[in-house]
Chain A
C-alpha cells in the first residue's frame, strides 16, 4: 500500500507527519519504506539520519547531434516544442536544460544524425536509519528544471509490496502530480488558515481528477478549525487527524528531532490517521 503525504501549501507539516508516522508504525510492529519525493528540497533524511546504504545517479536522455551527418535542415528544431534545439548557419545547438527527453528529435531526423546520451539530473539515496524503516531519498541537482525524472526514479525503487509512505512536494504542479500518481491514498496536511484552505482545495481538485482517495490532517490546530472543517464537510472529505499548535513540536522540528519524540499524543493521532487511510485505501 502506498500512502502519499501532500499539502498544497508549503510548510504545513508534511515531513513532520511522514517521518513521525513512519516511526509510529514501526513501534506498532510494521515495516515501512519512506520515500522522499520532495526532490527539490528533500528533508526527511534530516529527521531520520544514518544507515546510508548507497547512492545511484538519475539520468535522462539528451540528444547529441552528429555534425558529420547533420545537414542543418532544421527539422529537429522545428519539431522541438521546448526550444531545446536551435539550428542556424551551419550549426546545431542543444540546450540540455530545456530538453524534456521525449525523443522526438531523433525520431524526426531524416539523416539519423541524432543519438541520445545519458545526462545526470540528480541522485537517489538509500538508507536504513533504523530497524524497520527504509528511507529512499531523491535529490534534484541544483540548477536542474525538472523534478519528474528523479521522482520517478525514487518510485521505481519502491518495493513491489509492503507499506510505503511518500513525502511529496508542495504545490499542485507536475512535481506533486508525479509523486502522488499511482498511490492508494493521499493524506493532505493543512493548517487552519485561509492559506491552508485555499491550497488544500487546489490539491484536492488534483486528487479528485486523478481518482485518488484522500483525507485531511489538520496541523497547528488551535481548537477552532472550522475554516477547514466546514470545507471538508461541504465536500464529503474526512478529517482523519488533528495535531495541536504546539511550540514544543516546532522547537523539536527546528533541531531535527522527529516530532514524535516530543509528543506522545502525536503517536495516537498518526496511528489513527494511518488506520483510517489504510481502510479507505483497501476499499475496492
Chain B
C-alpha cells in the first residue's frame, strides 16, 4: 500500500522544510510540497522540472462591458465586496470567491464564469526521488484545491507501494485540512516556545479529526528545555510518539542560507537519522493496522 506522511507544524518557521528535505534524503520517497503559497522545499532539493500542468482554481466571472447596463444588481448581491459598479461592473479578482452569484443575478446576461489559470503544478526529478510542487498566483484564494491537485499527482507517481512525503503548510485552515485528509502519518515539527506549544496543540486537535497517526519532532529543543519537557509531557498524555529532538544550532540556519540539507552535514546527521528510524517504526505500525 502507499503510505502518506505529512509534515506540519501549526506555527510557521519551526523547521518543516528542513525536516522534510532531511527525511527525503534518507528514504528516497515521492516528494510533494503542499505549502503551495509559500513553497520552499525546491530551494533545498533543487528539482529539475520535467512537466508543467496548468492549475485552474474556480471559474471566475468576466464582465462583457457591451452587455452590462450598470444596474448594480451584482454589487448588491455579492457578499465579498468584489464588485463595484460605477458606469459598468468591475470585478476585484483578489476579493472574488468565484461563487457565481453575480452571474446568476445579472439581468443582462453580461457576466459569465470563465476558466482562469491561477497557478502551475510541476512534476520534477530530484536526487532523492520524484517531486511534485506548485506555484499559486499571488493573492489567489484557492490554496486548498491546489494542495489536492499536488497530492493527486504525487499519488500517480508513487505507484502502489510507494511512500509519499509531504511538506505541509503552516496554520490549521483549509490548506492544512487538505494536506491532512487521507494521510497515514502526520509528523509535527514543534518549537519549544510559548507560541510553538500553543500552535502545536491546535494543529494536533485538527489532525485528531482525521484517521492519521500524529507524531512529533522537537526542533531547537535546547532553546527552552522547560517547553521541550512540556511538549514531551503533553505528547505522553495524548499518546503521541516523540520521534526525536533536533538541537538549536546556528549550523542549521547556515545550511538554509547555503541551500543545503541539514541531515547531510556530519554534525547534524545523528538527530535526523534517529528521527528517521523512529518514523520508520511508526510507518510499520501503521501498515499493520
* A-to-B contact residues, CB < 8 Å: 8-12, 15, 40-41, 43, 46-47, 79, 81-82, 100-104, 107-108, 140, 142-147, 169-177, 181, 192-195, 198-199, 202-203, 205-206, 209-210, 220, 222, 227, 245, 250-251, 253-256
Contact = CB atoms under 8 A, between A and B. Distances in A.
Contact of B170 (A41, A46, A79): A41
Contacts of A10: 9, 11-14, 38, 170
Q: Is the interface of B mostly helix, strand, loop or mixed?
A: loop
A194 B259 CA distance: 7
Interface residues of B, number: 67
A41 B101 contact: no
B59 interface: yes
Contact of B144 (A104, A145, A193): A145
Given A81-B100, A220-B253, A15 B195 contact: yes
Given A172-B138, A177-B139, A181-B95, A41 B171 contact: yes
A174 B141 contact: yes
Contacts of B36: 173
Given A10-B12, A43-B195, A245-B253, A169 B223 contact: no
B148 interface: no
Nearest to B78: A102
Contact of B99 (A12, A81, A181, A194): A81
A142 to B, nearest CB: 5
A67 B271 CA distance: 59
Interface string B112-156: 000000000000000000000000101111011000000000000
Contacts of B17: 195
Please provide the 7 A-B residue pairs with the shortest distance between their CB atoms, ordered closest to farther. A11-B13, A10-B12, A102-B99, A174-B141, A40-B171, A256-B194, A254-B224
Contact of B173 (A40, A107, A227, A245): A40
Contacts of A177: 94, 139, 141
Nearest to A150: B173
Most chain A Cβ neighbours within 10 Å, of B199, B209, B259? B199
22 contacts: A8-B38, A10-B9, A10-B14, A40-B170, A40-B202, A41-B11, A41-B171, A41-B172, A46-B194, A46-B195, A81-B100, A101-B79, A102-B97, A103-B79, A170-B12, A170-B13, A173-B175, A202-B37, A205-B139, A209-B94, A250-B220, A253-B194
B105 A107 contact: yes
A76 B192 CA distance: 48
Nearest to B95: A181
B187 interface: no
Contact of B13 (A12, A209, A245): A12
A8 B39 CA distance: 10
A253 B11 CA distance: 14
A120 to B, nearest CB: 16
B26 interface: no
Contacts of B138: 172, 202-203, 205-206, 209
Interface in B60-112: 77, 79-80, 94-95, 97-101, 104-105
B166 to A, nearest CB: 16
B193 A100 contact: no
A157 B66 CA distance: 40
Contacts of A175: 171, 173
B104 A171 contact: no
Most chain A Cβ neighbours within 10 Å, of B139, B196, B227, B253? B139
B274 interface: no
Given A40-B173, A209-B139, 6 more contacts: A41-B202, A102-B101, A173-B140, A210-B94, A245-B250, A254-B191
Contacts of B224: 251, 254-255
Contact of B38 (A79, A142, A199, A256): A199
A169 B77 CA distance: 29
Nearest to B40: A195
B38 A254 contact: no
Interface in B1-30: 9-14, 17
Contacts of B214: none
B287 interface: no
Contacts of B40: 9, 194-195, 198-199
A138 to B, nearest CB: 12
A174 B141 CA distance: 5
Contacts of A47: 194
Contacts of A81: 58-59, 98-100
Interface string B253-268: 1001101000000000
Contacts of B195: 15, 41, 43, 46, 253, 256
B194 A102 contact: no
Contacts of B193: 253-256
